Amino acid sequence: MESAFPLMAALASALVPFFLLGGELDASQLLSAGRLRRTAGRIVRLLGRAGRAWPLSRLLELGVVRRAVGELTGSAVARDLGLDAYAASATLACAVLLVTIAAGLALWSAVAGVACGVGSVALVVARDASRRQRAKREVAMAMPGIYRTLSVALGSGQTLSQAVAYVSAHERGPAAGIFARMSLRLRCGVSTEDAVGQLAEELEVSGADLLAAALVISHRTGSPLRDLLMRSARLAERQGEFERLLAVKTAQVRLSVKIVCLLPVVMVGALAVISPDFQSGLLTPVGMGCVLLAAGLDALALVLIRRLVRAVI
């Protein structure tokens, strides 16, 4: 099994660019040759069997992996090849393995290869966290408009399902997709309480529980709750203003936290890649102990900064 990993990594690396660019390529032209289609199908089946193995199947329990797998399986080429979630997770794992092997061979150092592999994973995690944070800000900014749209829809006599569909049709950004999924759940027979509960979980903003309670009350009593929703819209706008003011006031502290957290990690990673002396020292017990001690001090500094921020706020 160990000898198959490099081969799978090479095959996966050939497929990843096509999956990532699937929205820009014509899948019928890309897979027009029957031999290429059959070969790609065998690769996908091999990756699918590997992805169902215990170490790789557990990767799907991680949120960042699930979102990356969703991007891969959503491309046109992936759909034509029949790429499922297990094959996609194996593709990602093999791509990271390929980066590690290639960097290790290019730099002729196992430490440098591992550092490059860990760095590639860190970049994926950071990109996912940035996208989630940006989507959360967009949803928070859209909440006042959502409250007002719901107030107008429910006040005009529409049912909860119709009001949710109205919001999904008139809003933009991530919030529109969240309400579109709730509308689909209601049309598919999901209970109102469950659909509203999932809505509150997906919004991930303050006031989502209040919105969920208001929608349930409106559904049970038939009251449009126009005044409550309009007042919630005004409060959401004020909260947005306070959050922007707080972001300005704490910009220096947040920059300090980023520097404290990232600078030691970046320095260790860079030295592990470019410095042979650091690589040889890192493999010794003293070197590993020093790195672990530095990581512990870094974590302690982060905890202290968070406590100071909480005390100020």
Q: How many CA atoms lie within 13 A of 45 on its CB side?
A: 6
Q: What's the pLDDT tens digit per position in 124-134?
A: 888 888 888 88
- Output the pLDDT for position 9: 46
**E strand or H helix at 292:** helix 285-312
Residue range 128-155: mean pLDDT, rounded: 85
Examine the pLDDT at 24 and tell me if it is beyond 50. no
pLDDT-above-90 percentage for the chain: 0
Residue 309 has a pLDDT of 66
- Centre a 10 Å sphere on the Cβ of residue 144 and count the other Cβ atoms it contains: 19
Identity of the amino acid at 97: L
- 174, 249 Cβ separation under 8 angstroms: no
Q: What pLDDT, on the 0 to 100 scale, is given for residue 313?
A: 56
pLDDT in tens, 58-113: 777 777 777 877 777 777 767 777 777 777 778 888 888 888 888 888 878 788 88
- Percent above pLDDT 70 for the chain: 86
User: Residue 15, exposed/middle/buried by CB under 10 A (0-12, 13-18, 19+)?
Assistant: buried
Residue 312 has a pLDDT of 59
First to last CA, the chain: 54
Residue with more model confidence, 162 or 14? 162
pLDDT in tens, 231-264: 888 888 888 888 888 878 777 777 877 777 788 8
- Helix-helix angle 192-203:208-221, to 10 degrees: 160
Residue pLDDT, tens place only, 192-235: 888 888 888 888 787 788 888 888 887 787 777 788 888 888 88
Residue 123 clears pLDDT 80, i.e. is over it: yes
Alpha-carbon distance of 87 to 95, in angstroms, equals 12
Asked whether residue 7 carries a pLDDT value surpassing 70, the answer given is no
* pLDDT interval class at 31 (50, 70, 90): very low
Q: Compute the distance between CA of residue 105 and CA of residue 99 in angstroms, rounded to an integer.
A: 10
pLDDT value at position 30? Answer: 47
Q: Which of 32-36, 181-185, 268-272 has the lowest mean pLDDT?
A: 32-36
Strand, coil or helix: what is 165? helix
Q: Would you place residue 159 in the very low, low, confident or very high pLDDT band (cuts 50, 70, 90)?
A: confident
Amino acid at residue number 241 = E
Closest Cα to residue 44, out of 4, 8, 7? Answer: 8
- Of residues 91 and 34, more confidently modeled: 91
Rounded Cα distance between 199 and 123, Å, is 29
- The sign of the CA dihedral 290, 295, 298, 300 is negative
